[in-house]
Amino acid sequence: MSLTCPMCGDAKDFFVDKNYDVCCGYCGFKVAEIKEQFLISKNQAERIKKNKFSRLANKK
């Protein structure tokens, strides 16, 4: 089962705009807001990167 836009019912493609909103690729309807999830993932990635480099520095 593929998801379609709840507004137009046609589009099966979506994009993320500059405000971190998931929008319909056909009519532009805002389907979801993902800024909070994006920032959480970004912070986790930065923390992992920092830990990786500090472990490498301690090995020298």
**24: burial class by Cβ within 10 Å (0-12, 13-18, 19+)?**
buried
For residue 4, is it left (φ>0), alpha (ψ between -120 and 50) or beta?
beta
Q: Number of structural domains, the chain?
A: 1
pTM strictly above 0.85: no
Report residue 19 CA to chain centroid gap. 11
pLDDT at 59: 64
pLDDT in tens, 3-60: 889 999 987 899 999 999 999 999 999 999 999 999 999 999 999 988 876 765 666 5
> Does 4 map to a domain?
no
Pairing of strands 21-24, 30-33: antiparallel
> Does 33 map to a domain?
yes
> Does 25 map to a domain?
yes
> Does 44 map to a domain?
yes
> Does 1 map to a domain?
no
> Is residue 16 within 8 Å of 34, Cβ to Cβ?
yes
pLDDT in tens, 17-32: 999 999 999 999 999 9
pLDDT at 1: 40
pLDDT at 56: 59
